Amino acid sequence: MNFELTINTTQDITADIEVIIVSEQNLEHRFVQDRELLEKAGFKGTQDETCLLIEKDRLYVGIDSISSINVRTAVAIAIRTLSNTPYTSIKIASYMNHPKCTAVLRGMVEGFVLGAYSFDRYKSEKSKLAIENITISLDEYNGYELNIEPCSIAMGNGQISAEATNFTRDIVNTTPDDCYPKVMAKIAKKLAKENGLDCKILKPKKLRKEKMETLLAVARASRHKPRVIHLTHKPKDAKAVVTIVGKGLTYDSGGLSLKPSDYMVTMKSDKSGGSAVLGIMKAVSEMNLPIEVHGFIGAVENMIGGDAYKPDDVLVAKNGKTIEIRNTDAEGRLVLADVLCYAQQEVKADYIFDMATLTGASVVGVGHYTSSIMGNSDEVKTMILKASKISGEFATKLDFNRYLKKSLNSEIADICNISNTRYGGAITAGQFLETFIDDHHKDKWAHIDIAGPAFVEHTWGENPHGASGAGVRLMSRLIEGLARPKK
């Protein structure tokens, strides 16, 4: 999909169809040329409502108010509406809520790219979106005079972040028989080669040398050997150092604590955290942000067999902590424990984040569409929440407390891999991970549980059925924020 920015008005642009965004309060706006037809069609201009006037080659789509989140979903709905039409080009005006804030324009570009996404790798008949070219006019809805240079940057970054999100969606949607640890490592190597990243892959022999025994225990019943992936974007004169650790469970059967069959379906999505790290590294490198970014992924498959690790085992993590295993389906935190320790050994970061589809408790607590943010530092958690709002991803804080942490106590080891209570499972999982954060990073770390939004089996907003690419836009926006000069 090609984007072009122009100072010409939409009337002077040649395209197959025009997309017009309009709110219920502004049906009399100068952009609305078909008031009578819209009235006959019953179009009210409510959020994401569409009306395609084929005879006029105009598609109207409604918004509640002009904001990046509203425009992003509106244009995603618009591009889906046009998916089965022969139109090959679109023209659209600009919509801003401030003459110097380009977030809405970026949201528009992201909406087009994200809304056009489809995953048809396993279908006999492939989908084919005819739209190839989108021209955006700087003729602005509120009459603001826009500077083409920052608008062009916003358009470019929006396209990069959205395409990186779609890249992540593809990895998550790929079946476990086609995407296992070795394949994730190949994807990382290819990305590194194409985007000028450094790439280091740790195989089992090196993992044993690094004493990553909890990760190896989770992996040992699978025929697919584990990998730990380390990607690096290292610009000159970096303004900050950021580490991101992702859970890459390419499939999770639950191990000997076997999942019920209906819970096992969609477990290809348990690699969403690691896949998001790949997408983030793609976005950061293509934007060439002046931030040193390290992406670590623990790529593992959790299966059953005679060599599977067991409830009642006691494992020793890389940092020497002993872990009593009471449930083999609480495996992601074991993988992350070792990878977090390794990441901190390799890099002293200004900020360290881990991303994982870690707990069903997060979904129960905050729903399918929201990520849960945990950590010791209110400043770091607030930074993530701010980035989530700008990016259009939903997130909320879950606070630690000492009473829940006691529920992880073990009588025979340093810590248990699950809580002794059924309540507060998302928080206790975060507190388990905190055990593996060293003193240097204690107040620089945050845990992001993306179990809710990472994979949803219906279309929502700009997101399709299946993988959403949760975390890519959020973290890209956060890193972009670190790159800006402080006021």
pLDDT, one tens digit per residue, over 340-349 is 999 999 999 9
Q: Helical H runs in 371-424? A: 378-391, 402-405
Mean pLDDT of 357-377: 97
DSSP state of 51: E
The answer, yes or no, to whether residue 27 has pLDDT greater than 90, is: no
State whether 249 and 209 are in the same domain: yes
State whether 212 and 351 are in the same domain: yes
Maximal CA-CA distance, the chain: 76
Query: What's the mean pLDDT when you consider all of the chain?
Result: 96
Q: Write down how long the chain is.
A: 487
The answer to whether position 112 is within a domain reads: yes
The answer, yes or no, to whether residue 335 has pLDDT greater than 70, is: yes
The answer, yes or no, to whether residue 192 has pLDDT greater than 90, is: yes
Task: Give the confidence band of 29 by pLDDT, cuts at 50, 70, 90.
Answer: confident
Where among 147, 181, 196 does a domain terminate? Answer: 147
Dihedral angle over CA of 375, 381, 385, 391, nearest 10: -90
One-letter amino acid at 111 equals G
Cα–Cα distance for residue pair 20/33, rounded to 1 Å: 10
State the residue range of the domain holding 275. 163-483
Mean pLDDT of 52-74: 96
Task: Give the confidence band of 423 by pLDDT, cuts at 50, 70, 90.
Answer: very high
pLDDT in tens, 255-267: 999 999 999 999 9
pLDDT in tens, 88-112: 999 999 999 998 899 999 999 999 9
The answer to whether position 157 is within a domain reads: no
Task: Please return the burial class of 194, using the count of CB atoms within 10 Å of its CB with bins 0-12, 13-18 and 19+.
Answer: exposed
State whether 173 and 129 are in the same domain: no
The answer to whether position 392 is within a domain reads: yes
Q: Could you tell me the two tokens for 120?
A: 């048809």
Where among 108, 123, 147 does a domain terminate? Answer: 147
Cα–Cα distance for residue pair 22/16, rounded to 1 Å: 20
Number of domains present in the structure of the chain: 2
The answer, yes or no, to whether residue 150 has pLDDT greater than 80, is: yes
Cα–Cα distance for residue pair 82/408, rounded to 1 Å: 52
CATH of the domain at 354: 3.40.630.10
Q: Which of 473, 369, 380, 384 lies closest to 434, judged by CA?
A: 380
The residues assigned a catalytic role are: 259, 333
The answer to whether position 152 is within a domain reads: no
Alpha-carbon distances of 123 from 17, 46, 83, 126, 411, rounded to whole Å: 29, 34, 17, 6, 52
Per-residue pLDDT, 26: 82
Residue 322 CB contacts under 8 Å (≥ 6 apart), including other chains:
314, 315, 316, 413, 414, 415
Alpha-carbon distances of 116 from 93, 119, 136, rounded to whole Å: 19, 10, 17
CB 385 within 8 A of CB 397: yes
Cα–Cα distance for residue pair 199/209, rounded to 1 Å: 19
- The helix or strand, by DSSP H or E, that contains position 262, with its residue range, turns out to be helix 261-264
State whether 386 and 479 are in the same domain: yes
The answer to whether position 315 is within a domain reads: yes
Q: Could you tell me the two tokens for 144?
A: 């603001």
CB 239 within 8 A of CB 483: yes
What sign for the dihedral angle of Cα 206, 210, 301, 305? positive
| Region label for 211, one of left (φ > 0), alpha (ψ between -120 and 50) or beta (otherwise) | left
CB atoms within 10 A of CB 296: 28
State whether 168 and 138 are in the same domain: no
The answer to whether position 155 is within a domain reads: no
Mean pLDDT of 20-49: 91
State whether 292 and 390 are in the same domain: yes
State whether 426 and 296 are in the same domain: yes
Cα–Cα distance for residue pair 438/11, rounded to 1 Å: 60
The answer to whether position 172 is within a domain reads: yes
DSSP state of 83: T
The answer to whether position 320 is within a domain reads: yes
State whether 131 and 206 are in the same domain: no
Per-residue pLDDT, 126: 87
3-state secondary structure of 10: helix
Where among 147, 171, 205 does a domain terminate? Answer: 147
Query: pTM of the entire structure?
Result: 0.97
- Give percent of the chain with pLDDT exceeding 90: 96
State whether 125 and 180 are in the same domain: no
pLDDT in tens, 204-250: 999 999 999 999 999 999 999 999 999 999 999 999 999 999 999 99
Per-residue pLDDT, 487: 62
SS3 content of the chain, % helix, strand, coil (to 5): 40, 20, 40
The answer, yes or no, to whether residue 486 has pLDDT greater than 80, is: no
State whether 254 and 341 are in the same domain: yes
pLDDT in tens, 264-297: 999 999 999 999 999 999 999 999 999 999 999 9
Per-residue pLDDT, 127: 83
CATH of the domain at 43: 3.40.220.10
Cα–Cα distance for residue pair 302/221, rounded to 1 Å: 7
CB 154 within 8 A of CB 102: yes
State whether 299 and 425 are in the same domain: yes
Distance, C-alpha 209 to centroid of its chain: 32
CB atoms within 10 A of CB 7: 10
State whether 218 and 100 are in the same domain: no
